[in-house]
Amino acid sequence: MSELRTEPFADDLAADFNVPLGLAREMVSRVDEPMKDAVLRLYRSAITMGAEWEPRLSAVSAPCAVFWGALDPACQIEFGRRLGASLPATAVIEMDCNHWTVLQRPAEVAQILEKHWSAHADA
């Protein structure tokens, strides 16, 4: 992680993950050494993804919506489905994009969130 260079990383995000280049460059411009260290520690601790916290998701009492990129090569849609099944999710929305849903489909994500919040405004 310490060797990560932001400009090539932004280019990779644009080419491999279909993130708009301007947004990819803006995002990676915020990556600093403490963030690199935190991400590396997180990745190294995730030996069994979700095993430590997934069983407790059923205790979440707030209404949830899960939106996931159906084409995500980094964290596949099956994980999103499992996450939705573990939460009190009203829906698992499978979006036509990959890992960076908010960057790839910002208007669609906003619409999903607005609909969810409106449906649960009294919760």
Same domain, 22 and 78: no
**Distance (Å, rounded) from C-alpha 110 to C-alpha 92?**
15
Same domain, 58 and 104: yes
**Distance (Å, rounded) from C-alpha 1 to C-alpha 59?**
35
Q: What is the pLDDT of residues 20-77, one digit of tens each?
A: 999 999 999 998 889 888 888 887 877 777 777 888 888 999 999 999 999 998 889 9
Number of domains in the chain: 2
Q: How confident is the model at residue 1 (pLDDT cuts 50, 70, 90)?
A: low
Placement of tokens 């890992």 in the chain: 99
Read off φ and ψ for residue 118, nearest 5 degrees.
-65, -40
Same domain, 60 and 113: yes
Same domain, 33 and 85: no
5, 24, 36, 43, 47 from 33: Cα distances, Å: 11, 18, 5, 15, 23
Same domain, 36 and 58: no
Q: What is the pLDDT of residues 68-120, one digit of tens each?
A: 999 998 889 998 999 999 998 888 999 999 999 999 999 999 999 999 999 99
Looking at residue 70, what is its pLDDT? 96
Domain range enclosing 33: 1-45
Cβ atoms of residues 109 and 117 within 8 Å:
no
Q: Which two tokens stand for residue 44?
A: 């190294």
For residue 57, the one-letter residue type is L
Looking at residue 23, what is its pLDDT? 92
Same domain, 70 and 88: yes
Same domain, 62 and 35: no
Calculate the dihedral angle through the C-alpha atoms of 33, 35, 40, 43, rounding to the nearest 10 degrees.
Answer: -170
Same domain, 23 and 66: no
Looking at residue 109, what is its pLDDT? 96
